[in-house]
């Protein structure tokens, strides 16, 4: 008998097994009360509301979203680079700083990164109230930490020998540093920086749903009032914004040897750094700390949360992450493999785009129209949204791949699906899984968003504890979140190393 | 007057369990041109790395101008220039930017910054690149796009632009054709007249495999298994010496 052999291809499909428990719970939780609503939601997609009034609102809201998105992007990419540099090996080698500091800084950044911007946002709103800059700050905090990791990783690729040779010239340390890191930094800006703008805009939309303002707030309000036609106007206009920004950035190719452009970028760099730093100081010293006083009760307030309940929430969050990751990994290759023809491909691409476009809270609220809240429903939401993202990557890679194997296999009379699996997908499986491992880090953080809305796991507890000002519980939840995320990151690091 | 420039006192270097340099004593006097011979793996590159301070020896002392290497400041250390066997250029910078890196020690941060933005002056860099017979079409090309011999000469130009009087060169003639070898050899060994006031003689230690190039050197050092086997005037070099080390 043949043994079942695990390889990258089968590993890409195996996680779909999560659908068994997931499906079971979903079927048990089905209710038909809101089915009409769901139908209405779908139909409205083709019939969005368009009149003068709403167009003015859209422009105003989009403006807010772009402003928050753009500034949080700019600040987080610049400070990400700065923190990336000072948390990189090369910095410590050049300045002869003990490794100890490097570990502390990296650990600190890992903790900050482990908490999702929505959580930061909710937290800051509770302390400082709703205001425009809270949105920017909430996005910037985790984004700076995320970006710094990417920059630091790029700086690790600097050849140790070129470091030694520059070192031997005995230049001033800052001269050596900048000469060595210049190109890796510029390349990271080019390859990674622009993509982060799209991420900032998406995060702004999500924060909007939690009340920060911009198009996200409008989306949420129109959903609450069941104004689906209006909702779709907002969603489509957001789609246009995202597609447009993608197109514009594809066209821009900035050349670092262009002097005027370089000087422009450097001025932007310094102005942003100075401005955000002074704003930060202003923010610290000029805020009313009335609400903040409640933080001091952190050590006094007793918690109603039992240890058992707390462990249950942690477990729920972990299960939620695992289930969603399973869907995000296996659904795209399964669907693309089964419906392997040109017409289906277009439909899958559109569907995947919608899954990326519609913010997870809205997907979840829509699903809630015919299913009771449960871990599975939250997992389905998060899984589908992320499957939209992983499938985009898979499509891009498959389209750019050499198709000779696939064609050769088909000409041998092997079925189209099998040829696709063995001739095309099998060569992508490894890098696809490596990307999914990275994606699952993000999924763990995103459990916060669906948790708050779908009343599961730690996200929900966070909301509860915050609204009752139980700061001790809040701290506990945050620590639990960080621990799960850091633990997940450790495991994923191992998996990624195995895959590359 | 003691004119010892570089001195190694009882140097040993251990890597894991291998003794790569074994109790080396060496004095290099001002103005000496020394050829360093030894078969592949004998420790030439390691010796040069110890001399320029890149490798810290497990045992012993390195002295520059009679002072322990660690106690010297940056400006004094920068009086040594090295041409590495593996060149160690910065691959994604252009040829002229790499040559300008040789000037980093005597300039401030602003110069390094301008160099990266391509708005610094490349006049001096071009002068030395021209001396190394590099064609001006490659000045602004990235290192990755150069041929082996071109890269070799960029590394040499980066060293020459430092206008240093103490040269450590590790097989600098790799990848060069016979005509270029003569040109480069003369450039490397000729005195540097930085301030145009007093001529200070050039001190050079060059690791090489080509015995036909020995004529321009005053001294020959033979090394084998990390040990100095002979350290003699070139005129005294006999066949028997070479048989010992090869
Ligand atoms: N980074 C290193 N790690 C471990 N061993 C090393 C390292 N560099 C050199 N060695 C070892 O040290 C010994 C001397 O090496 P070295 O590079 O100094 O020789 P070499 O005389 O320059 O040889 P070649 O003529 O081939 O350049 C060799 O046995 C080599 O294997
Ligand atoms: Mg060598």
Greatest Cα-to-Cα distance within chain A, rounded to the nearest angstrom: 76
Angle between helices A194-209 and A360-367 (to 10 degrees): 40
Question: Which pLDDT does position B63 carry in this prediction?
Answer: 92
Establish if A37 belongs to a structural domain. no
**Can you tell me which atom of ligand 1 is nearest the CA of B48?**
18
ipTM of the complex: 0.90
CA distance B208 to A257: 38
Does B67 contact A at CB distance below 8 Å?
A: no
Beta strands B219-224 and B227-233: pairing type? antiparallel
Per the CB < 8 A criterion, the answer to whether A418 and A6 are in contact is no
- The residues near A450 (Cβ < 8 Å, ≥ 6 apart) are A320, A360, A361, A364, A378, A381, A382, A456, A459
Establish if A382 belongs to a structural domain. yes
Q: Clarify whether residues A77 and A217 are in a common domain.
A: yes
Establish if A38 belongs to a structural domain. no
**Model confidence at A441: pLDDT above 50:** yes
- The residues near A414 (Cβ < 8 Å, ≥ 6 apart) are A422
Does B110 contact A at CB distance below 8 Å?
A: no
Residue A413: CB atoms within 10 A of its CB come to: 7
pLDDT band at A299 (very low <50, low <70, confident <90, very high): very low
**Separation of CA B211 and ligand 2 centre (Å):** 16
* B44 close to ligand 1 (CB < 6 Angstrom): yes
Q: Which ligand places an atom closest to the C-alpha of B37?
A: 1
Provide the 8-state DSSP code for B30.
T
Q: Clarify whether residues A235 and A278 are in a common domain.
A: yes
Does B1 contact A at CB distance below 8 Å?
A: no
Mean pLDDT of B157-173: 94
Q: B209: which 2 tokens? A: 């495999």
Q: Whose CA is nearest to atom 1 of ligand 1?
A: B15
Q: Which ligand places an atom closest to the C-alpha of B20?
A: 1
Range with lowest mean pLDDT among A70-79, A325-334, A371-380, A462-471 = A462-471
Length of chain B: 246
Residues 246-285 of A with CB under 8 A from B: 256-257, 259, 262-263, 266
Contact A169 B54 (CB under 8 A): no
Tell me the pLDDT tens digit for each residue of B112-150: 999 998 888 999 999 999 999 999 999 999 999 999 999
| Cα A38–Cα A242–Cα A198 angle in degrees, nearest 5 | 110
CA distance B214 to B200: 23
Q: Partners of B35 in the beta sheet?
A: B206, B220
Does B121 contact A at CB distance below 8 Å?
A: no
What 3-state class would DSSP assign to A162?
helix
What 3-state class would DSSP assign to A304?
coil
- Written as one string, the DSSP assignment of A333-356 is HHHHHHT-SHHHHHHHHHHHHHHH
Please report which helix (H) or strand (E) contains residue B135, including its range.
Answer: none
Please report which helix (H) or strand (E) contains residue B223, including its range.
Answer: strand B219-224
The percent helix, strand, coil of chain B (3-state, each to 5) is 35, 30, 35
CA distance A335 to A301: 51
Q: Clarify whether residues A320 and A462 are in a common domain.
A: yes
Backbone dihedral angles phi then psi of residue B39, each to the nearest 5 degrees = -75, 170
Question: Which pLDDT does position B197 carry in this prediction?
Answer: 46
Residue A330 Cα distances to A100, A163, B200, angstroms: 41, 43, 72
Length of chain A: 500
Q: Partners of B166 in the beta sheet?
A: B80, B203
Q: Clarify whether residues A445 and A424 are in a common domain.
A: yes
Q: Which among A234, A256, A291 is the end of a domain?
A: A291
Question: Which pLDDT does position A289 carry in this prediction?
Answer: 55
Q: Clarify whether residues A203 and A334 are in a common domain.
A: no
**Model confidence at A449: pLDDT above 60:** yes
Establish if A446 belongs to a structural domain. yes
Please, where are the H alpha helices in A45-156?
52-86, 89-95, 99-114, 117-128, 132-155
Please, where are the H alpha helices in A339-425?
342-357, 360-367, 375-399, 404-411, 416-419
What is the distance in angstroms between the Cα of A163 and the nearest Cα belonging to chain B?
8
Mean pLDDT of B14-27: 93
The residue that leads in pLDDT, A191 or A163, is A163
Does B75 contact A at CB distance below 8 Å?
A: yes
Does A166 contact B at CB distance below 8 Å?
A: yes
* B54 close to ligand 1 (CB < 6 Angstrom): no
Residue A144 Cα distances to A5, A150, A265, A269, angstroms: 42, 10, 19, 15
* B46 close to ligand 1 (CB < 6 Angstrom): yes
Tell me the pLDDT tens digit for each residue of A127-137: 887 777 889 99
Residue A241: CB atoms within 10 A of its CB come to: 19
**Separation of CA B236 and ligand 2 centre (Å):** 25
- Per the listing, tokens 């729920």 go with A316
* B185 close to ligand 1 (CB < 6 Angstrom): no
Task: Round to the nearest angstrom and report the end-to-end CA distance of chain B.
Answer: 37
Q: How many domains does chain A have?
A: 2
Q: Which residues of B touch A188 (CB under 8 A)?
A: none
Q: Which ligand places an atom closest to the C-alpha of B42?
A: 1
Backbone dihedral angles phi then psi of residue A194, each to the nearest 5 degrees = -70, -35
What 3-state class would DSSP assign to B17?
coil
Does B112 contact A at CB distance below 8 Å?
A: yes
Q: Give domain limits for chain B.
A: 1-34+47-77+218-246, 80-163+166-201
CA distance A205 to A237: 12
Residue A497: CB atoms within 10 A of its CB come to: 10
Q: Clarify whether residues A287 and A312 are in a common domain.
A: no
Q: Please, how many CA atoms are within 13 Å of residue A470, restricted to the half-sphere of its CB? A: 13
Q: A84: buried, middle or exposed (CB in 10 Å: 19+, 13-18, 0-12)? A: buried
Establish if A282 belongs to a structural domain. yes
What is the count of residue pairs from A and B with beta carbons less than 8 Å apart?
Answer: 82
Structural fold of domain B1-34+47-77+218-246: Rossmann fold (3.40.50)
CA distance A125 to A181: 38
Establish if A40 belongs to a structural domain. no
Q: Please, how many CA atoms are within 13 Å of residue B127, restricted to the half-sphere of its CB? A: 9
Mean pLDDT of B167-178: 94
Q: A373: buried, middle or exposed (CB in 10 Å: 19+, 13-18, 0-12)? A: middle
Contact A174 B109 (CB under 8 A): yes
Comparing CB atoms, the residue among A167, A168, A175 nearest residue B112 is A175
Q: Clarify whether residues A370 and A485 are in a common domain.
A: yes
Tell me the pLDDT tens digit for each residue of A455-498: 788 888 888 887 777 777 888 888 888 888 888 888 888 887 77
Nearest CA-CA partner of B89 in A170, A175, A162, A167 = A162
Tell me the pLDDT tens digit for each residue of A305-364: 677 888 888 898 999 999 999 999 999 999 999 998 889 999 999 999 999 999 999 999
Task: Round to the nearest angstrom and report the end-to-end CA distance of chain A.
Answer: 32
Per the CB < 8 A criterion, the answer to whether A468 and A293 are in contact is no
Contact A259 B117 (CB under 8 A): yes
Q: B154: which 2 tokens? A: 């960029």
**CATH code for the domain of A113:** 1.10.3720.10
Tell me the pLDDT tens digit for each residue of A165-190: 998 998 999 999 999 999 899 888 88
| Cα A67–Cα A72–Cα A75 angle in degrees, nearest 5 | 125
What 3-state class would DSSP assign to B67?
strand
Beta strands B18-29 and B59-64: pairing type? unpaired
B31 backbone φψ class: left, alpha, beta (φ>0; ψ -120 to 50): left
pLDDT band at A304 (very low <50, low <70, confident <90, very high): low
Q: Clarify whether residues A92 and A158 are in a common domain.
A: yes
Q: Which among A291, A310, A328 is the end of a domain?
A: A291
Contact A175 B107 (CB under 8 A): yes
Per the CB < 8 A criterion, the answer to whether A456 and A375 are in contact is yes
Tell me the pLDDT tens digit for each residue of A238-285: 999 988 887 887 777 666 566 777 778 888 888 988 888 888 888 777
pTM (predicted TM-score): 0.87
Contact B90 A259 (CB under 8 A): no
Q: Clarify whether residues A252 and A312 are in a common domain.
A: no
CA distance B189 to B168: 11
Fold match between domain B1-34+47-77+218-246 and domain B80-163+166-201: yes
The fraction of chain B above a pLDDT of 90, given in percent, is 75
Chain A residue closest in CA terms to B142: A183
Per the CB < 8 A criterion, the answer to whether B208 and B231 are in contact is no
Mean pLDDT of B205-216: 92
Structural fold of domain B80-163+166-201: Rossmann fold (3.40.50)
- Per the listing, tokens 């190694």 go with B8
Q: Clarify whether residues A196 and A306 are in a common domain.
A: no
Which residue range(s) make up the domain with A398?
A: 1-30+300-500
Q: Which among A248, A268, A291 is the end of a domain?
A: A291
Average pLDDT, chain B: 91
């Amino acid at each position: 008998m043949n043994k079942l052999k695990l390889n990258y291809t089968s590993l890409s499909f195996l996680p779909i097994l999560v659908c068994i428990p997931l499906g079971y719970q979903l079927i048990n939780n089905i209710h038909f009360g809101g089915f009409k609503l769901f139908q209405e939601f779908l139909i409205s997609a083709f019939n969005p509301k368009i009149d003068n009034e709403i167009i003015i609102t859209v422009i105003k809201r989009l403006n807010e979203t772009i402003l928050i998105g753009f500034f949080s992007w700019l600040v987080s990419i610049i400070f990400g680079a700065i923190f990336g540099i000072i948390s990189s090996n090369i910095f410590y080698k050049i300045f002869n700083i003990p490794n100890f500091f490097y570990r502390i800084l990296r650990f600190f950044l890992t903790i900050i990164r482990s908490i999702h911007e929505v959580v930061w946002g909710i937290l800051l709103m509770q302390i400082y109230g709703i205001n425009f800059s809270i949105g920017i700050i909430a996005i910037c905090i985790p984004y700076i930490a995320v970006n710094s990791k990417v920059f630091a990783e790029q700086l690790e690729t600097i050849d140790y020998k070129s470091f030694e040779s520059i070192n031997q010239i005995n230049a001033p340390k800052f001269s050596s540093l900048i000469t060595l890191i210049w190109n890796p930094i510029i390349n990271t800006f080019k390859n990674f920086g622009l993509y982060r703008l799209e991420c900032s805009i998406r995060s702004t939309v999500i924060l909007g749903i939690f009340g920060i303002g911009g198009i996200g707030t409008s989306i949420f309000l129109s959903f609450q009032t069941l104004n689906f036609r209006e909702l779709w106007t907002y969603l489509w206009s957001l789609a246009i914004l995202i597609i447009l920004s993608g197109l514009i950035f594809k066209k821009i190719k900035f050349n670092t040897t262009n002097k005027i452009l370089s000087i422009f970028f450097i001025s932007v760099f310094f102005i942003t750094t100075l401005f955000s730093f002074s704003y930060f100081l202003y923010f610290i010293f000029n805020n009313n700390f009335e609400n903040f006083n409640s933080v001091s009760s952190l050590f006094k307030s007793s918690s109603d949360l039992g240890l058992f309940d707390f462990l249950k929430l942690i477990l729920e969050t972990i299960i939620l992450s695992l289930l969603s990751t399973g869907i995000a990994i296996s659904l795209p290759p399964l669907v693309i493999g089964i419906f392997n023809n040109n017409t289906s491909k277009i439909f899958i691409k559109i569907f995947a785009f919608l899954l990326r476009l519609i913010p997870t809270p809205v997907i979840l609220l829509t699903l809630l129209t015919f299913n009771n809240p449960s871990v599975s429903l939250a997992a389905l939401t998060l899984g589908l949204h992320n499957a939209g993202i992983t499938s985009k990557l898979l499509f891009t890679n498959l389209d750019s791949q050499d198709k000779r194997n696939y064609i050769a296999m088909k000409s041998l009379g092997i079925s189209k699906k099998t040829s696709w699996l063995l001739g095309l997908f099998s060569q992508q499986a490894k890098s696809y899984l490596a990307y999914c491992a990275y994606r699952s880090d993000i999924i763990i953080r995103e459990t916060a968003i669906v948790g708050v809305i779908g009343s599961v796991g730690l996200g929900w507890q966070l909301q509860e504890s915050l609204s009752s000002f139980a700061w001790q519980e809040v701290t506990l939840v945050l620590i639990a979140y960080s621990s799960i995320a850091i633990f997940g990151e450790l495991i994923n690091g191992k998996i990624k190393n195995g895959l590359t | 007057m003691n004119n010892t420039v570089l001195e190694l006192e009882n140097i040993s270097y251990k890597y894991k369990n291998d003794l790569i340099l074994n109790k080396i004593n060496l004095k290099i006097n001002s103005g000496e041109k020394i050829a360093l011979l030894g078969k592949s793996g004998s420790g030439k590159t390691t010796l040069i790395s110890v001399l320029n301070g890149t490798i810290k020896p497990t045992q012993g002392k390195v002295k520059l101008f009679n002072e322990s290497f660690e106690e010297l400041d940056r400006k004094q250390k920068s009086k040594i220039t090295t041409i590495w066997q593996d060149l160690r250029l910065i691959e994604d910078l252009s040829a002229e930017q790499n040559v300008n890196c040789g000037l980093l020690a005597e300039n401030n941060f602003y110069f390094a910054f301008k160099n990266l933005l391509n708005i610094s002056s490349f006049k001096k860099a071009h002068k030395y690149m021209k001396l190394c017979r590099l064609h001006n079409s490659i000045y602004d090309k990235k290192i990755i796009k150069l041929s082996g011999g071109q890269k070799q000469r960029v590394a040499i130009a980066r060293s020459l632009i430092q206008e240093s009087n103490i040269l450590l060169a590790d097989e600098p003639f790799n990848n060069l054709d016979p005509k270029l070898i003569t040109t480069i050899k003369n450039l490397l060994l000729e005195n540097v007249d930085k301030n145009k006031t007093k001529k200070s003689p050039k001190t050079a230690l060059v690791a090489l495999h080509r015995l036909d190039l020995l004529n321009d050197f005053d001294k020959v050092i033979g090394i084998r298994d990390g040990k100095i086997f002979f350290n003699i005037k070139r005129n005294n070099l006999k066949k028997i010496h070479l048989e010992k080390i090869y």
